[in-house]
Amino acid sequence: MKRTNVERDLKEKKKIAMGLEKKENDNYTENQQLKANLKELDSVYRTLAKEKKQVEQYAKNMEGYLKDEKRKSDDEYKKLLAERDDLRDRLSKLAGKKLQEQNADIPDLSDPYRAMKLSEKFGQIYDDEWTNAFESLTYKKPGLPLKEAIHVLIRLLQECWMFCNNLMTTQMDSLQNVFLHPSQNLANFDQKKTGLTERPRVTSKDQLSLKDLRNRVGVSPSVIEEVKQALLADSKTWDKREKKEFDKKHIEACTPYIQKCAEICWLMALHDPPLVMKMEVKPGEKFDTNIYTVYSQSGQTIDFLVWPPLYNGKDGGLLSKGVAEPVKVVNKKK
């Protein structure tokens, strides 16, 4: 019985041992499988981490690229807007210029030297410098008679106008000569050796460009000052002319008036079209109140001109009225 019990116990223990061994084998197999799975997961994790890093770098690069593209796009947009505005302004100026060329009475309101502004400056000279010059000519001993003093002031204005127009013509000729003859040494220019059959000429289109350049530069303060100084130097010779229209002391007394006349005449000559003063007034001509204002007395006909009316070009409209002295009307006694 003891033997039988021992054998039975041994079988049970052996059976338990085999079960434990089998369980251990199963656990080992499972453990190995888990290790293999963990290794695979670790590999997948490293791959995903690498891909994540690549995606993040790509996203970062794309963000920078998109920022650069946006900046470029914004810059291009601003450039296009600027070009559009520039073209629009140029088109507007061109249209305005063509409209002005067709009708001189249409002003360019962006131009500080437009006709109406020059007309105001012209009238201001009569109110200020003309009055002072008139007093210098009539009140200082020996003073000139009223009519003679006014004639001197009108003639001084005419001389300033002629001087500025002649100076402008000379300047344009010089500009054309510089462009046509770069060397400025025509004595050494042999037309036969060059094989040229005709001399170069400035086309009407190029002449307009030169004129536009001259007009833009001509309004600068330094140029205006040079014109005034040149005219003052020329005025010193006016008393030596054959007709003896001017006296040296009278010219000196009117120096501020001459300087202002030089400035306004230069600017009026630069204007396109040039402003025109109507100087041709004959005694006995009908006094037109639409063109003239009375100087000191009323009347139906003109005795003499005091200050000329100003027109916007040869065929343009009236910018400012002139001043004239009518012939005094004498009432006949019955």
CB 154 within 8 A of CB 225: no
Residue 317 and residue 170 in one domain: yes
pLDDT of residue 188: 55
Q: Label residue 293 by pLDDT band (50, 70, 90).
A: very high
- Comparing 42-56, 209-223, 237-251, the range with the smallest average pLDDT is 237-251
Of the three residues 52, 79, 102, the one that is the final residue of a domain is: 102
pLDDT of residue 186: 56
pLDDT at 206 over 90: no
Residue 39 and residue 135 in one domain: no
On whether residue 212 sits in a domain, the answer given is yes
pLDDT at 8 over 90: no
On whether residue 43 sits in a domain, the answer given is yes
User: pLDDT of 253-265, one tens digit each?
Assistant: 899 999 999 999 9
On whether residue 133 sits in a domain, the answer given is yes
Residue 5 and residue 133 in one domain: no
pLDDT of residue 325: 93
pLDDT of residue 228: 93
Of the three residues 74, 102, 130, the one that is the final residue of a domain is: 102
Q: Label residue 154 by pLDDT band (50, 70, 90).
A: very high
Residue 177 and residue 322 in one domain: yes
Residue type, 308: P
Residue 77 and residue 206 in one domain: no
On whether residue 302 sits in a domain, the answer given is yes
Residue 12 and residue 75 in one domain: yes
Residue type, 35: K
- Comparing 44-58, 131-145, 177-191, 208-222, the range with the smallest average pLDDT is 177-191
Residue 167 and residue 128 in one domain: yes
Q: Which residues contact 34 (CB under 8 A, 6 or more apart)?
A: none
Q: Which residues contact 246 (CB under 8 A, 6 or more apart)?
A: 152, 155, 156, 238, 239
Residue 247 and residue 206 in one domain: yes
pLDDT at 307 over 70: yes
Provide the H-helix boundaries in the chain.
2-102, 115-127, 129-139, 146-180, 191-194, 204-218, 221-235, 248-253, 255-270
Three-state DSSP class for residue 322: strand
Please work out, in degrees rounded to the nearest 5, the angle formed at the alpha carbon of residue 319 by the alpha carbons of 313 and 324.
105
On whether residue 191 sits in a domain, the answer given is no
Residue 296 and residue 153 in one domain: yes
CA distance 52 to 77: 36
Q: pLDDT higher for 190 or 15?
A: 15
pLDDT of residue 243: 55
pLDDT at 158 over 80: yes
pTM of the model: 0.64
* Full domain range(s) for residue 23: 1-102
- Comparing 81-85, 87-91, 109-113, 245-249, the range with the smallest average pLDDT is 109-113
Please count the structural domains in the chain.
Answer: 2
pLDDT of residue 276: 94
pLDDT of residue 124: 95
Residue 50 and residue 9 in one domain: yes
pLDDT at 201 over 80: no
Residue 224 and residue 284 in one domain: yes
pLDDT of residue 96: 59
Which is nearest to 104 in space by CA: 314, 321, 320? 314
pLDDT of residue 102: 46
On whether residue 58 sits in a domain, the answer given is yes
CA distance 95 to 106: 12
pLDDT of residue 93: 64
pLDDT at 301 over 90: yes
On whether residue 314 sits in a domain, the answer given is yes
Q: Label residue 25 by pLDDT band (50, 70, 90).
A: confident
pLDDT at 89 over 80: no
pLDDT at 18 over 50: yes
pLDDT of residue 334: 46
On whether residue 60 sits in a domain, the answer given is yes
- Comparing 105-114, 125-134, 207-216, 260-269, the range with the smallest average pLDDT is 105-114
Percent with pLDDT over 90 in the chain? 35
Question: Which of 69-83, 95-109, 121-135, 196-210 is modeled with the greatest confidence?
Answer: 121-135
Residue type, 167: L
